[in-house]
Amino acid sequence: MNPRRKKRLGLALALVLGVGSTVGLMVYALNQNMDLFYTPSEIVQGKPDGSKPYVGQRLRIGGMVVENSVSRDPESLKVTFKVADIGPEVTVVFEGILPDLFREGQGIVAQGELMDATTVYASEVLAKHDEEYMPPEIAEAMNKSHTPLEYTEQQQGSY
């Protein structure tokens, strides 16, 4: 093999190894930052494929805040509440200011770390609102510019 071909082969090998290691490191980094979504039932019972989150795993949990389960520490911003779907309840511990839309019976998504089989220490809590929600300013503007269509028996019969 002549020296020119050896040099090209060496450059090609270095390029393939460099691209391969870069892609490998990117996949590893993305895998470390991935937060899987679980419902309270899936945390306690596991997903249909049999996988369950492990203690210390970062995850997201979504469900409804259980009525009469919110307790606030008067000395700090620590809040504890239970989240449920159709099955068991999971306790969420959060230290910080909750969103304005947070209340009992409301849907939430919390991101945090699984502390034990039924407790999540949340670093972020997001309150969900229903699909019917419309900011007051937009609702007022729509009411002014659109009049509701009313049907009478004569109008319905003319179609």
* Residue 146, marked binder: no
Is residue 83 within 8 A of residue 61, CB to CB? The reply is yes
Distance of alpha carbon 117 from alpha carbon 90, whole angstroms: 8
- Per DSSP, the chain holds a count of helices (H) and strands (E) of 4, 7
> In Å, how far from its chain's centre is CA 6?
52
* Residue 129, marked binder: yes
Binding positions: 129, 133
Binding positions for heme: 129, 133
